[in-house]
Each structure stands twice: as C-alpha cells, then as structure tokens.
Amino acid sequence: MTTKKKTIGPGESVADHEILRRVGEGARGVVFQAKNAEGRLRALKILRPEFAKDDTAVGEFREEARATAAVQHESVVSMYECGVDHGVHYISMEFVDGPPLDRLLAERKGLSWKTAVRVAIQAADALGHAHDIGYLHRDIKPGNILLYSDGTARVTDFGIVKDIRTLRGFLVNGKKVGTAAYASPEQCTGKRLGPATDLYSLGATLYHMVCGRPPFVAENRKMLLAKHVRTQPVPPSRLVKNLPRPLSNALERSLAKSPMARFPSMDNFAATLRMILEGRVAIVPS
C-alpha cells in the first residue's frame, strides 16, 4: 500500500500555515506566500516531496535554516521556524512584499546607480556580518536579493557551509556551487574559497544593476566560466553615461581576478560604496 503524498498548494495547510500562492521555486524547493495561525504573512519554503527521504537534500535544507537563523542581520531574511509536518519539510521565513532583484532587472534595463548602490550596501552589510561569524554565502546573485516595496533589501538563500576555510570552488562534494554568471574566478577553477568570493559575486551583481547586464555573457556555461577566469569586464563607465568614476573603479576592483586585488573585506567595500553615494571622493585603484 502506497502512502498518499500531502498536496501542497494554495488552500492547503502546512504546520498551521495557510498557503496563499506560489511566489518562487528552485531545483529542490518551492516558496509560497502563507499566513500563520496569528494571521501574519510568511514565506513558507517547502522541500519538494521527491526529496523528502533524500538524507543529503534534507540535511542541506536544515543547514540553510540553521545558517539563516544564525546570521540574524537586518538585511537578511528572518527565519522563524523549521520543521516537518506529516512528512513535509518546511522553513517559515519573513515575507518580503517586493520582487526579487532578478525580476526587477528583467523588467528594466538597469537601475539608477544610486538605487543600485543602496541595494549593494545593504547586501554587503549582511554578508560582512555573515563572514564575521564564519559563514560564506557562495551564491550571491540578483535572484537571492529580495526587495521590499520601499526598496529595502534582504539577502536570502543561505545554502552555505560554516567553516569557510575548507571550501573549494564551483564543485563542493560533487555539487555545483554558485551561479555561473556571478561566480568568482576561484569558484570556476576549484581553488579554495574565502570571503573575497562573495565580494566578487556582489560586485558582479552590482555591475548588472548598474549596466543592465552581468559582467560577462556567453553561449554556454564553460565559455562563461572561462571569461570569469581570463577576460576583463568592460569598464562600467564605458557602458553608462555620467557614471561616477569612483563607482566604475570600485566595480572593476571588486571584479579583480585575484582575490588579493579586491577590497580587503566586505565591510571595506560597503564603506567605499557609502563614500561614493554621499559624494565623497573614494580612492580605489585597481
């Protein structure tokens, strides 16, 4: 006798959360807007039923919840609860009422540089805090930055490993880590990863926000990874009129091939972006 899988969709209930609508999905999980027993809106992330008995998938799902809860920063999506309800693995999180950044960028050809820098500063603050407590995100990209309707940003999807000293590139335990369009050169070549890899990915995300496209595009993943390793991006100042030169310089520095040539920390990158936004001169030689 087979066990009937729990239906997951609008109108159904998971752990006292009434599911309202689907708002996103990935390879292993689906995210719904839901309402908890107190009537508060939540984002409910559900592990797809076909992975419910996959120990590796379940372990990574729980690790994401633990990491999100551990970071506890105003610019990281808050995690409220993680559990299992009748075989359904779920994470209850803060519901962000605006679009993910990738959807916004798909609708527009870039953002104003000031708006882009404000978003990047918030993400950099969150990632700097994560680095300080030993967490590396590894997959910073527009799809993992959510925006409230007022423009406030939240970093999400912490599928990360605690001990950042043990991480290596694009494959970790045989699994691809990161997204090719925003992957650092060290991810692409399998070298040891550190905070500078998140800095590169955030720089690539900011480049996309400012320039309307990622630093590199290619016909396939292999060619794209090779460009991250060997090709210099077009300076943003050549693509965007009236872009402040310090911002163009900062973007080029964040995308340096060598981790040592980038900003020394995410906090330093955030401080430089604040100087640029406030109109102060920032010296950021490549």
Dist CA 111 CA 114 (whole Å): 8
Torsion of CA 47, 60, 205, 168, to 10 degrees: -150
What six digits make up the tokens of 128? 């700097």
Catalytic site includes residue 125: no
Q: How many Cα neighbours within 13 Å face the side chain of 100? A: 18
Q: Looking at 26-87, which runs of residues are DSSP E strands?
A: 29-35, 41-47, 79-85
Catalytic residue among 16, 132, 139, 150: 139
Helix/strand/coil for 101: helix
Helix/strand/coil for 223: helix
Instruction: Let me know: does 286 contact 252? Beta carbons within 8 Å.
Output: yes
Where do the H-state alpha helices sit in the chain? Answer: 55-71, 101-107, 113-132, 185-189, 195-211, 221-230, 236-239, 245-254, 266-277
* Residue type (1 letter), 252: E
Which residues carry out catalysis? 139
